[in-house]
C-alpha cells in the first residue's frame, strides 16, 4: 500500500508525521518537566516558606503570654510568698498582682498553684485546693512530674465556664506553677488570620497528633489527625527535626505540612487542597499544549508546502514520460526547469537523457536499414546452403545404412563365439568336479573297508567273552541245584523232628 502512494503524499505523511511526533514528544517532556519543577518548587520552597511564616507569626503571638507566664513564675515576691508558707496576711497582695496581670494582658485569668499546699489562687483569691486523686486536677501533678519548664493546655475554666488556653510555667523551686489563661477564641482568631492561599488553613496539634487549635469550630480540641484524615499520618508527618510534607486523598485531596515549634511544644500544620496547587499547573500545561498544537499545525503546513515543491518536478517528469509512452514517442519534448536546487538538476539531467535517447534511437533506425539489406543477402546464401546440405544428407543416410548392416553381422559373429567359449569353459568345470567326486568315493570305500575289519575283530572278541560267560552260568546253575537239594533235606529233617 505504501509503495502505491504518490511521492507527494509520502513526503506529506513523513514530514507531517515527523513534525507531529516531535512536537508531541516535546510537549510531553516540557509539560512533565514543568510540572515536576513547579511541584518541586512548591514542596521545597513555597510550602516551607509559608509554614515558617505561619509558625513564626504564631510563635511571636504566643511568645508574649508565654513571657508573661515566665515572669510570673520567676517573680521574686511570688516565689518568696510560696516558700514562706503562703502567708494569709499577704494574700491580698497576691490577688492584686494576679488581677493586674490579668487586666494588663487582656487575659481571661491569671493563676498561681502551690505544690506545697495544693492551693489554686486566682485574682478573686483562693479558688480551690487541688486533689491528687481527682482526674480534673491530674494535669498539675503530671506537669510537676515531667521535665518540662512550661506547658500549654486547653481546658475549660471552672469559674467562667469558658474554653481557655492555659500557659503553665514552673517556678524556681520546681514545686509550683504560675501563668495566665487566654481565651481560645483569641487563639482561633490568630490562626484564622493566617490563611494559606485561597482555601488553605493552619492549625495546631500536640506531639501526639491531637488537634489543639483549629479555625473550624466544628473540629473539637483533642481530635486526632488520624480520625480527621482517615489515615495514620502521625508518624509520617510529625517530625521535630525537619519540615515534612505529604499528600493525602482525604477531603478530595490535601497537602499537609508540619513544623515543630519548640517554644510551644506543639506542631503547626498547614492544610492546602491539592486542586489549589495543581490548578495553576494544569492551566499552564493546557496553555503549553495549545501553543505546541498551534506550532505543530504551522510546521505541518510548512512541511506540506515543501513536500509539494519537491514533488512538483517529479510529477511533471512522470506526466511527460506517460505522454511519451502513450503518444507518438515524441522525444523532442523538454521538462521545464524552475529552480537551481537538486530538483532543478534532476529536470536538466532528464532533458539531457531524453536528447541522448533521441539521438540513440535515430542511430539505431539508420543501422536497422543496413542490417535489413545484409539479412536479405544472408537469406539467399542460406537457401543455397540448405540445398547442398540436403544432398549431403542423403549420401550420409546411405552410408549409415550399410554401416548398420555390417555392425549387425559383426555382432552376431561375436555372440556365437562368446557362446562357444562359455560352453567350453562349463565343460572344463564339470570335468574337474567329476574328478573330485571319484577321488572322494575312493577315499570313502577305503575308510569303510578299514572300519569293517575293525568291527570283525571286535565281534570275535565278543564271541570269546560270551563263551566264558556261558561256562560261569553253568557253574552257578550247578551250585543252585545243590543248594536246593540241601534245603529240601533240611526241610524233611525238620518235619521228622
Q: What are 175-228's pLDDT values in tens digits?
A: 899 999 887 666 667 676 766 667 778 888 888 888 877 877 788 778 888 888
pLDDT band at 392 (very low <50, low <70, confident <90, very high): low
Nearest 5°: the CA angle 232, 238, 243 is 130
C-alpha separations of 468 from 36, 455, 461, 473 in Å: 139, 20, 11, 9
3-state secondary structure (DSSP) of residue 259: strand
pLDDT band at 302 (very low <50, low <70, confident <90, very high): confident
Segments in 205-248 forming alpha helices (H) = 225-229, 234-237
Beta pairing partners, 354 = none
3-state secondary structure (DSSP) of residue 203: strand
Average pLDDT, the chain: 77
User: What would the DSSP string read from start to end of 439-452?
Assistant: HHHHHHHHHHHHHH
Task: Lowest mean pLDDT of 11-25, 196-210, 400-414, name the range.
Answer: 400-414
Nearest 5°: the CA angle 201, 206, 212 is 55
DSSP assignment letter at 252: G
Residue 99: the pLDDT is 93
Say how far apart CA 4 and CA 381 lie, in whole Å: 54
pLDDT band at 27 (very low <50, low <70, confident <90, very high): confident
Residue 122: the pLDDT is 92
Cell of 318: 512522470
Decide if 238 contacts 205 (C-beta within 8 A). Answer: yes
Query: Under CATH, what is the fold of the domain 33-278?
Result: Beta-Lactamase (3.30.450)
User: What would the DSSP string read from start to end of 313-327?
Assistant: HHHHHHHHHHHHHHT
Domain range list for the chain: 33-278
Say how far apart CA 131 and CA 144 lie, in whole Å: 14
Cell of 148: 518540662
Q: How far is CA 322 from the centre of its chain?
A: 55
Say how far apart CA 490 and CA 494 lie, in whole Å: 6
Question: In the chain, pLDDT over 90 holds for what percent of residues?
Answer: 12
* Locus of grid cell 488570620: 193
pLDDT band at 121 (very low <50, low <70, confident <90, very high): very high
Q: What phi, psi does 239 have (nearest 5°)?
A: -145, 120
Amino acid at each position: 500500500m505504501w509503495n502505491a502512494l504518490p511521492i507527494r503524499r509520502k513526503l506529506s505523511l513523513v514530514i507531517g508525521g515527523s513534525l507531529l511526533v516531535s512536537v508531541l514528544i516535546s510537549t510531553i517532556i516540557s509539560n512533565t518537566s514543568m510540572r515536576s519543577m513547579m511541584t518541586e518548587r512548591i514542596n521545597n520552597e513555597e510550602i516551607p516558606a509559608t509554614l515558617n511564616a505561619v509558625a513564626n507569626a504564631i510563635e511571636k503571638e504566643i511568645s508574649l503570654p508565654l513571657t508573661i507566664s515566665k515572669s510570673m513564675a520567676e517573680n521574686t515576691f511570688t516565689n518568696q510568698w510560696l516558700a514562706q508558707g503562703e502567708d494569709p496576711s499577704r494574700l491580698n497582695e497576691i490577688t492584686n498582682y494576679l488581677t493586674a496581670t490579668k487586666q494588663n494582658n487582656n487575659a481571661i485569668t491569671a493563676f498561681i498553684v502551690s505544690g506545697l499546699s495544693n492551693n489554686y489562687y486566682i485574682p478573686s483569691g483562693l479558688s480551690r485546693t487541688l486533689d491528687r486523686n481527682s482526674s480534673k486536677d491530674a494535669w498539675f501533678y503530671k506537669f510537676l512530674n515531667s521535665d518540662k519548664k512550661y506547658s500549654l493546655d486547653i481546658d475549660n475554666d471552672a469559674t467562667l465556664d469558658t474554653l481557655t488556653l492555659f500557659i503553665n510555667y514552673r517556678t524556681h523551686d520546681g514545686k509550683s506553677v504560675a501563668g495566665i489563661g487566654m481565651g481560645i477564641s483569641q487563639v482561633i482568631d490568630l490562626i484564622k488570620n493566617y490563611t494559606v492561599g485561597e482555601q488553605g488553613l493552619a492549625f495546631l496539634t500536640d506531639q501526639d497528633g491531637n488537634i489543639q487549635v483549629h479555625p473550624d469550630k466544628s473540629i473539637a480540641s483533642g481530635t486526632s489527625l488520624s480520625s480527621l484524615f482517615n489515615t495514620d499520618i502521625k508518624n509520617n508527618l510529625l517530625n521535630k527535626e525537619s519540615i515534612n510534607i505529604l499528600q493525602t486523598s482525604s477531603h478530595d485531596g490535601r497537602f499537609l505540612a508540619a513544623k515543630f515549634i519548640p517554644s510551644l511544644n506543639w506542631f503547626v500544620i498547614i492544610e492546602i487542597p491539592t486542586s489549589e496547587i495543581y490548578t495553576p499547573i494544569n492551566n499552564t500545561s493546557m496553555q503549553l499544549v495549545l501553543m505546541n498544537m498551534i506550532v505543530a499545525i504551522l510546521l505541518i503546513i510548512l512541511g506540506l508546502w515543501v513536500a509539494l515543491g519537491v514533488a512538483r518536478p517529479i510529477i511533471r517528469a512522470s506526466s511527460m514520460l506517460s505522454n511519451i509512452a502513450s503518444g507518438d514517442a515524441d522525444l523532442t519534448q523538454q521538462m521545464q526547469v524552475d529552480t537551481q536546487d537538486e530538483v532543478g538538476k534532476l529536470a536538466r539531467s532528464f532533458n539531457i537523457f531524453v536528447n541522448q535517447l533521441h539521438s540513440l534511437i535515430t542511430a539505431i533506425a539508420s543501422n536497422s536499414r543496413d542490417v535489413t539489406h545484409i539479412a536479405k543477402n544472408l537469406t539467399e546464401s542460406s537457401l543455397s546452403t540448405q540445398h547442398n546440405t540436403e544432398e549431403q544428407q542423403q549420401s550420409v543416410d546411405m552410408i549409415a545404412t550399410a554401416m548398420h548392416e555390417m555392425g549387425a553381422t559383426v555382432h552376431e559373429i561375436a555372440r556365437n563365439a562368446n557362446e562357444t567359449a562359455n560352453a567350453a569353459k562349463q565343460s572344463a568345470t564339470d570335468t574337474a568336479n567329476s574328478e573330485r567326486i571319484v577321488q572322494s568315493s575312493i577315499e570313502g570305500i577305503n575308510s569303510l573297508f578299514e572300519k569293517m575289519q575293525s568291527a570283525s575283530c571286535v565281534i570275535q572278541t565278543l564271541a570269546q567273552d560270551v563263551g566264558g560267560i556261558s561256562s560261569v552260568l553253568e557253574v552257578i546253575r550247578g551250585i543252585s541245584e545243590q543248594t536246593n537239594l540241601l534245603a529240601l533235606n533240611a526241610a524233611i529233617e525238620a518235619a521228622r523232628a
